[in-house]
Each structure stands twice: as C-alpha cells, then as structure tokens.
Structure 1
Amino acid sequence: MRALIVDHTEPSGLRLGVAPEPTPAPGEVLVKVGAFALNNGDLATANGLDDGRVPGSEAAGHVVEAAADGSGPAVGTPVTTFGVGGAWAEYRAVSVDLLGTTPEAADLAAISTVPVAASSALRALRRSGPTLGRRVLITGATGGVGRYAIQLARMGGALPVAVTRYPAQFADELRGLGADAVVADPADHPGTVHTVIDTVGGRLLVRAFDRLENGGVLIALGHLATEEEAFPPGALMAGPGRDRTIVSFHQFDGTPLGPDFTWLSEQLTSGALLPSINWRGSWHHVHDAITALRGGTLHGKAVIDVA
C-alpha cells in the first residue's frame, strides 16, 4: 500500500512510498483511509522513528474488514480513528475502542480532525467543570485545538477569550467561531477568567494563570513554547480569594473515546462545529503542509486527502 513513511534523508523527514498492508488483530478493524490530519505532535514523533515506519495518529475512512471477534462496526461504516502510528497510509488497522462512527454524509477530511484536536478541546473543557456563563481563556486560539475549544466553550454557554499573537489578523474569524474577546496576551484581558485552556505553555501559561479568579482552573493541554514555565515567588501560594488550580491533561483519562468521536463527528456533519481546515491537498504535496506547520505559518488544521 502507499503510505507516508519516515525517511530521514528527506528535508521533511518523510516521503511517499510503499509499506506492508496491516493485518488487524481480532479486536481491530481494517479501515481504508480517505483522509488524515497532520499535527505537530505526530511530526515530532516521526523524527524519532526509524526509516520505513508509518507515523500518524488520526485518520478517517471506511471499514473494509470487520473485527474478527464480532466487535465494532460493520464493513462499509464510515469511521474516524485514533492510534499510535499508522494513520498516514491507504489502510490502517485500529482497535474498535479507538474509533467512532460518523454520519454517511460526513466529509472525511473534516472528520479526520476529530481524534486529536476536537477531542482534546472537548475533554479539556470537561476537566474545568461547568462553563455556563463563565469566561474561558484559550491560548493558541488560531490552532486546531484552540479553534475547537472556542466553539465548544461557546456551545457550553461560556464567554471565550481567544489569545493569539495576531489579533488584528484573526479577530473577525475567531469572533465568528464564538470568541467573546480576542487579545494578544492574557495580560491584555482586563478581567479575570474561570478557566484557562492553555495549548502553548512557557511564559504564556504563567501570565494566563495570573488571570484566574478564585476557584479557577488552568488546563495545561499543550506545550509549543521552547522556554520553561517560571513562576515568580509566591505566585502559587493560596490564600483568601486566591485558590486556583493547575491541571495536567492527557487524552487517555480512562473514559471511552468512541462516544466522543461519534458525537463530535455528528456536530461537524450538521454544521454545528466547523473544522477550520486551512490547508487541504494531496499527499503528493504534503511537504508544503509540513513546512507551514513547522514554520508556524499554518493556523488551523492541515488535512491530506488520500486519492
């Protein structure tokens, strides 16, 4: 089968080549991939893999071989899938616990953005507790996770505050997704917030923590920054009116992923959520998307259509 395989002699570290078609285990289905999404985490992981390996965690397609143990969806079912590697190929074998079904009318490119970006945003917001009527500050707001977090926070009744280095460029777009305010830095927001969804880390996380109100929570979801999180003396001390929490985040929190994947796919297909795909093309041009992602010039999601 065709696949994007690791090749450290290439400038991008990847090339379009041939890999063995996977053989599913009894609790796995074989999926013919229609589209897969790129993200910085997968690109970083690929750097550490041996040549010839197939990276990638999220892909959408149709089941072409049902699970031998009788679990999971039937042949022909459209699904979105998650796993450690193997997504950037024509076929992938995936556990029935790591997929969600999607509506027949779904755009597979949009659905391929669910497992990492949309699911992370959804689960991070759940960690913060009820959001109705509360302000939720989201750093890295123009990224894939950030854009979903804005929309989901607004759906949950929150007032999202979007933080981006380019407020003038993206203010209208982010407000269109549901942002109540758009600022360049957490310190620019005049009030406090109940929740911070941080996808950047570093000094930005520290400044975002300073905006939390009493009882507020910061969800440390990602770390794109190159510097450490250095808090000033006393910043983490609790006291009257200063009871705040930092929560680390991991997508595998013990609850099933499939139902979330299915619900998010339904929201995308109905138009209640927008995927914010800012680069979409053939895997023959994947190096353009990789260059943009690594250079920080691609805001939103990059999706590959598997011809």
Structure 2
Amino acid sequence: MRALVVDPSLPCGLRLGEAADPEPGPGQVLVQVRHASLNPGELGMLAQLPAGHVGGYDAAGVVVRPAADGTGPAAGTRVLAFGPGAWAELLAVSSADVAALPRGAALAEAAALPMAGMTVLRTLRAAGSVLGRRVLVTGASGAVGRYGLQLAARAGAHVVASVRDGVHAPALTALGAHEVVVGLAALRQVGEPVDVVLETVGGPYLVAAWALLAPGATLQSIGWAGGEPAVFPPGSTFFPGVARTLSSFGDAAAVGADLGLLAGLLASGALSAQVGWRGSWERVEEAVGMVRERKVTGKAVIDIAPGAGTGLTLP
C-alpha cells in the first residue's frame, strides 16, 4: 500500500512511499482510508521514529474487512477511526476505536475530529458539569481550542477564549465564545475568576490561567503548544479555602463511543470540524510546513486517493 512514511533526510520528515499492508487482529477492522489529519504533536514526534514508520492517528474511510470476532461495523460502513498508522491507504484498527458516520457527516470533516475532539470531550467530562460556569480556553484558535469552546458553550458554559492574535476573535465569537482576550497581558487582567480551564499553550499561559482559578476550580492541562517552561512564582500554588486542582490528560482507550458522539454532533451541525487546510497527501510537505508554522486555523486534512495501490474495490 501507499503511505506517508518517516524519512529523516527530508526537512518535513515525511514522504509518500510504500509500506506493508496491515494484518488485522481478531478484534480489528480493516479500513480503507479516504482522509486523515495531521496533529502538531504527531509531527513533533517524527524525529524520534524510525525511517519507514507509518504515523498518524486520525482517519475516516470505509470498512473493507470487518473484525473476525464479529465486533464493530460491517464491510461498507463509513467510519471515523482512531489508531496508529492512519497516514496510509489501509488502517487496521480496534473495533473499539471506530464509529459509524451518520448521514450528513462528510468523511473529510470527520477525519479532523478524533484526537482533538476526543481529547476535549473527555477533558470536559472530567471537569464535571460546566452549566452556568466560567470556562477559560487558552490557545483557542487551534483545533483543540475551537472544539473546546464549542462543546463548553453547548454545555451551557460562559466561555472565555484566550488567543495571541486578535484576528481570530470574530471567528471564535461565532463558534460560541462569550469573551475573547488577546495576548498574555490581557489574560492576566481577566477580572472575574474562572471555574474550569482547558489549557493548551503551557508556559506563562498556564501560570496566568492558574492564577485565575476560583476556589474549587480545576485547570485541565491538555497541551503545551507554546514550548516554553512554566515558572510559578513562590507561593503561587497556595490558596486558602477550597482546593484548586491541576490535572493532566492522557486517556485514549476505547474511544469508539466518544467518536460516535462527536460524529453525531458534526452531522447535526452542532459541531464545526474547523478544517483550515485540505489537500492531496502528495502535498504533504506543504501541509507539514503550514501546521508547524501555525498557519492553519483548526485542522489540516489530507486526501488519500481511494483504492490506489491496494487492489481493493471500495463500496
């Protein structure tokens, strides 16, 4: 099969080449991938992977072989999938990590959802009910931030979106943000405390967000896009009264049900996929450069030609 494989000799770290077809285990379905997405964290890990490795986790396509143990969707089902090796024509993935796409959900948009959408959904769930609460989303112009503010606003929260560039403010307001604060100085001056933080930037933004927590509030650290260390002033982690908490995120097990929920929201129009770049995987160098330079607002999705090089006929 054709796939995007790691090539350390290239500036972008990837090339369109060939890899062995995956062999599904008893509890795995074989998906012919139509679209996949690029996540910044995945691109950051390329230098640590061996040459020829097939990366990626986010995919949408069609099941061409159902799981041998009878679990999961049938052949011909359009699915959203989360599993290693997504940047390829074929993906063997656990039936617990796929969800059927309802009518009205486009495959290309669905491919943008798995990692970022599942991360936000599970993080919000861990924070508890946000109905009537103030939720701060840092790095709100990125994919995780855009999904986070949409889901929080839909759940009844008052959403404060933090961005570095004010050019994003109108779009974020349209997605459901009630307030948009631009820059670190403005974030530090947010007057009213917040109850939940979805923190994606790290560094000084994490420190500033921590200082805004109300008694009993929680900061969910789910990214470190800024790449800077977080330096807390002495005594800044002590508060009298009800404890504030800082939690990390890392649960990516058995995500099929959550993918199904996200797909349903997408199909109904309640969630926008926010695809900021889309093109053929033959343009992978361009796509990687756009993501690394933070020129993509939302997600970058690559299109994979159906059936090429696999000998399979799609339904």
TM-score (norm 2): 0.93
Residues in 2 aligned to 1:100 and 1:251: alpha-carbon distance in whole angstroms: 18
Q: CA deviation at 1:301?
A: 0.5
Q: CA deviation at 1:227?
A: 2.1
Match of 1:38 in 2: 38
Residues in 1 aligned to 2:283 and 2:291: alpha-carbon distance in whole angstroms: 13
SS, match of residue 180 in structure 2: strand
CA contact (8 A) 1:58 1:115 kept: yes
String of CA shifts for 1:28-85, please: whole Å, max 9, x gaps: 01000010010111112222111111100110111000111111110011111112x3
String of CA shifts for 1:12-36, please: whole Å, max 9, x gaps: 0100111111111111010000100
Farther off after superposition, 56-65 or 287-296: 287-296
SS, match of residue 190 in structure 1: coil
Farther off after superposition, 45-54 or 132-141: 45-54
1:164 correspondence with 2:163: yes
Q: CA deviation at 1:132?
A: 0.5
After the TM superposition, list the runs of 4 or more consecutive aligned residues in structure 1 that deviate by more than 2 angstroms: none
Match of 2:197 in 1: 196
Match of 2:299 in 1: 301
Residues in 2 aligned to 1:104 and 1:90: alpha-carbon distance in whole angstroms: 23
1:218 correspondence with 2:216: no
Residues in 1 aligned to 2:222 and 2:71: alpha-carbon distance in whole angstroms: 32
Match of 1:89 in 2: 88
CA contact (8 A) 1:34 1:108 kept: yes
SS, match of residue 260 in structure 2: helix
Question: Given residue 21 of structure 2, which amino acid in structure 1 is its aligned partner?
Answer: E
Residues in 2 aligned to 1:188 and 1:123: alpha-carbon distance in whole angstroms: 29
Q: Percent identity?
A: 46
SS, match of residue 236 in structure 2: coil
Match of 1:50 in 2: 50
Unaligned runs of 5+ in 2: 306-315
Residues in 2 aligned to 1:125 and 1:105: alpha-carbon distance in whole angstroms: 25
SS, match of residue 302 in structure 2: strand
Over the aligned positions, Cα root-mean-square deviation in angstroms equals 1.2
CA contact (8 A) 1:78 1:104 kept: no
Match of 2:313 in 1: none
Question: Given residue 180 of structure 2, which amino acid in structure 1 is its aligned partner?
Answer: V
Question: Given residue 178 of structure 2, which amino acid in structure 1 is its aligned partner?
Answer: D
Considering Cα pairs closer than 8 Å and 6+ residues apart, tell me whether 1 or 2 has the greater RCO.
2
SS, match of residue 92 in structure 1: strand
Within a 5 Å distance, the mapping from 1:272-291 to structure 2 comes to: 272-291=270-289
Q: CA deviation at 1:106?
A: 2.0
CA contact (8 A) 2:130 2:155 kept: yes
Residues in 1 aligned to 2:297 and 2:81: alpha-carbon distance in whole angstroms: 23
Q: CA deviation at 1:251?
A: 2.8
Number of corresponding residues: 302
Match of 1:136 in 2: 135
Residues in 2 aligned to 1:8 and 1:46: alpha-carbon distance in whole angstroms: 8
String of CA shifts for 1:203-262, please: whole Å, max 9, x gaps: 11000011111111000011122222111111111313x63111111133x6x4111100
Residues in 1 aligned to 2:114 and 2:240: alpha-carbon distance in whole angstroms: 39
SS, match of residue 147 in structure 2: helix
Residues in 2 aligned to 1:10 and 1:228: alpha-carbon distance in whole angstroms: 29
Q: CA deviation at 1:300?
A: 0.9
CA contact (8 A) 2:276 2:297 kept: yes
